[in-house]
Amino acid sequence: MAPPSKLAVATSSLTRLVKEEASYHKEMAEQEARIKKIQESTGDENAEYQLKQERQGLEETKKVIPSMHEKISQAIQKLEDEMQSNTDNGGEAPAVEVTKAEDALASAKQALVEVS
C-alpha cells in the first residue's frame, strides 16, 4: 500500500487539531459546570479546596485554546498550500482526498469563526 499523500497527511492533521480544540471547549464547559455545582453545594468542608482545583484546571484549559487556534491557522495554511501544489501539479491527488481536504478546511474555518 502506498504511503499517504502530503494532502492526506495535512488533511488528517487539520481534522485532528479541530477535534482536539473542540474537546478543550467541551472540557471547559464541564469544568464550569463542576465549579457551579461546588459553589451551590453546602456543608462540604473540602469544597474550598475542590473549588480552587477546578478553577486552576479551568484556567489551564483556557490558556491552551489560543495556542490551539494558532496551530489550526497554521494547519489551514499548510493544507491550502498542499491543495494549491496539487492543482499546480495537474491534480495528481485522488478526488476523494481533495474533497476531504475541502471539507476539513470548511470545518476548521467554521470552528475558528464560532470561537472568535
Whether the Cβ atoms of residue 80 and residue 105 lie closer than 8 Å to each other: yes
Going from N- to C-terminal start, the domains of the chain cover 6-115
pLDDT tens-place string over residues 19-64: 999 999 999 999 999 999 988 887 778 888 999 999 999 999 999 9
- Decide: pTM greater than 0.85: yes
Supply φ then ψ for residue 69, to 5 degrees.
Answer: -60, -40
CATH architecture of 6-115: Up-down Bundle (1.20)
Q: Is 101 exposed, middle or buried (0-12, 13-18, 19+ CB in 10 A)?
A: buried
